[in-house]
Chain A
C-alpha cells in the first residue's frame, strides 16, 4: 500500500533507478533531483541500490585504468612492419 502511494506521488523504483543513472552522469534538472532525493528518503530498496550503483561506478572507473597489458614489443614491431614494411 505504502509503496503504491510513494510511486504515484513521486517515482516508481523502475524510474528511480533510471534517475540514479542520470544523476550519476550529472543529467538531472533541479526538480528531478528533488523527486529522486525524496524517493530515496522513503525507499530503502532504492537507497540500497544507489549505494551499490555508486560502488560499481567507482569500480568501473578503476577498471578502465587497470587493465593488465603484457609486453607490447611484439605488437609494436608488427605494426611498424605492416605500415612501414614496404618502404
Chain B
C-alpha cells in the first residue's frame, strides 16, 4: 500500500500545474496564487485519511481550492455594498451612450489566438475591483453554479447577478475602447 507521503508527492507532481492555472485565473498576483496552491496541499495532506478514493483526486483538490478562494473573499469583503449602474443607464433605465451600437468585427477565433488581445482582456479584468472580479471568475470556474457560488462567498444570489451584470457592462466598455474601437 502507498503511504500518505508517497500519495502526497504524487499529487503534488501531478496537479500543481492545473491548480496554479486556476489560482492564477482568480488571483493575478502570482505570489498570492502560489500561496493558495501551497495551502491546498496542506489541507489535502491533513485530510488525506478522509479522502482515500471517494471522488476523483483532481475534483477533490479543485474543491479545496474553491474553499480557499471563498475563505479569502469572505474575510476580505464582508459586504458587497451598493452596486450602482448609473454610469451606464439614466434614471429611466435607458442606455446613456450610443457606443454600445459599435460593431465588434473580429471573429472569436482570431481573438482567442491573439496574445495582444489576451493582454487587453487581462488589463480589463484587472480594472474590476477584486470584490467583483472574484465572484465573476468563480462563476466561470464553477461552471455557472450560481447558488453554490453565492453560498460559498456569502453573498445573496441577487447580488451575484448584479455583480455579474455590472462587471460585464464594464468589461464591454473597456474592451470596446481598448481593443475594438481604440
Contact in complex: B34, A18 (CB < 8 Å): no
User: Is A84 in the interface zone, CB < 8 Å from B?
Assistant: yes
User: Is B49 in the interface zone, CB < 8 Å from A?
Assistant: no
User: Is A32 in the interface zone, CB < 8 Å from B?
Assistant: no
Given contacts A69-B17, A69-B21, contact A21 B164 (CB under 8 A): yes
Tell me the bound Cα distance from A66 to B21 in angstroms: 8
Given contacts A12-B93, A55-B108, contact A17 B25 (CB under 8 A): no
Query: How big is the B interface, by class?
Result: 35 or more
Q: How many A-B residue pairs have CB under 8 A?
A: 127
Q: Within the complex, which residue of B42, B95, B118 is in contact with A63, where a contact is CB–CB below 8 Å?
A: B118
Mark out the residues of chain B between 20 and 71 whose CB falls within 8 Å of any chain A CB in the assembled complex.
20-22, 24-25, 34, 37-38, 41-42, 45
Tell me the bound Cα distance from A14 to B175 in angstroms: 20
Contact in complex: A82, B38 (CB < 8 Å): yes
| Across-interface contacts of B13 in A (CB, < 8 A) | 76
Given contacts A7-B93, A12-B94, A45-B95, contact A26 B144 (CB under 8 A): yes
Q: How many residues of A contact B (CB 8 A)?
A: 46
| Across-interface contacts of A15 in B (CB, < 8 A) | 93
Tell me the bound Cα distance from A80 to B171 in angstroms: 39
B1 to chain A, nearest CB (A): 18
A residues lining the B interface (CB < 8 Å):
3-4, 7, 12-15, 17-18, 20-22, 24-27, 44-45, 48-49, 51-53, 55-56, 58-67, 69, 72, 75-76, 78-80, 82-84, 87
26 contacts between A and B (CB under 8 A): A4-B92, A7-B93, A7-B94, A12-B92, A12-B94, A13-B94, A17-B168, A17-B169, A21-B161, A25-B139, A27-B161, A51-B104, A52-B104, A52-B172, A52-B176, A55-B104, A59-B108, A59-B121, A62-B112, A69-B17, A69-B21, A72-B16, A76-B12, A76-B16, A79-B12, A79-B37
User: Lowest 5 A-B CB distances belong to which pairs?
Assistant: A12-B93, A14-B93, A14-B89, A21-B165, A72-B16
